[in-house]
Amino acid sequence: MWRQVEKGIGQATITLIDPGAYEPMVRDTLDNADVERAGSERQAVVDACVSEVLSGTPVAYLPYAIFRQVPWSDEHSLTSLARFTPEGILHELGGKLQHAIVFAARAHAVFDVSSAAGMFRTTDAFRSQRAARLILPEVLATTRHFDVENRPATELLNSAINAIAESFSDAFDAAEEISDKPLVVESDTRLRRDSGCRHLSWLGARDA
């Protein structure tokens, strides 16, 4: 039985997101316009930390990231750049800090694949055409399971994956292995627990 537990844990991706880590930098760069726009200094700090959290995900400014590596693509026909700015992402998620944290954890987990083991950041998938050709095929072939928590985050990540697949599929040698089904899936794991340990191997990427 313990081997089943270890197998399930081995398939999970645990990602820690700490918005507070950005607070010193945010406070050093905060100006009066930020405070006035947010309504208070505290809210301005929170807003800036959320923006930094979302900016660090591999899908932030996605059309621009794609266009850098596939310059023959039409970035405007892929998806809206505004949709994948930190502000656009937060708006689609519902505007709350917790939503941003969940989305960031999931976005990093989606790009945390074995072929990226030598990379320092999940955003390195778009660092160069060589990195993209190495990492993105595995991203596009890997299904990630999350607990039911934030449907908009799931939908936005699937939109991002679809945009990547449309842009890069012709450039990949293993294009036929790219899944045509949603790769980011929400499932209620509590329903699985009643069936015992035989379902532990189902565990996918998890939010943390």
Q: Where are the domains of the chain?
A: 2-17+59-207
Q: pLDDT tens-digit profile of 105-151?
A: 999 999 999 999 888 899 999 998 889 888 998 998 889 998 888 88
Mean pLDDT of 65-76: 70
Residue 24: pLDDT over 80: yes
Position 199 confidence tier, pLDDT thresholds 50, 70, 90? very low
Task: Return d(Cα 15, Cα 199) in angstroms, integer.
Answer: 22
Residue 96: pLDDT over 50: yes
- State phi, psi for 184 to the nearest 5 degrees: -110, 120
Mean pLDDT of 85-108: 92
Residue 1: pLDDT over 60: no
Task: Return d(Cα 52, Cα 3) in angstroms, integer.
Answer: 39
pLDDT at 195: 47
pLDDT at 181: 77
Mean pLDDT of 170-192: 67
Residue 59: pLDDT over 70: yes
Mean pLDDT of 34-39: 93
Position 157 confidence tier, pLDDT thresholds 50, 70, 90? very high
Burial per residue of 50-70, b for 16 or more beta-carbon CB atoms within 10 angstroms, e otherwise: bbbbbebbbbbbbbebbbebb
Position 10 confidence tier, pLDDT thresholds 50, 70, 90? very low
Least confident of 94-108, 164-178, 186-200: 186-200
Mean pLDDT of 68-78: 63
Query: Sign (positive/negative) of CA torsion 90, 95, 96, 97?
Result: positive
Residues ≥6 apart with Cβ < 8 Å to 46 = 19, 38, 97
Most confident range (mean pLDDT) of 2-16, 42-56, 59-73, 134-148 is 42-56
Mean pLDDT of 15-20: 78
H helix count then E strand count, the chain: 11, 4
pTM of the entire structure? 0.77
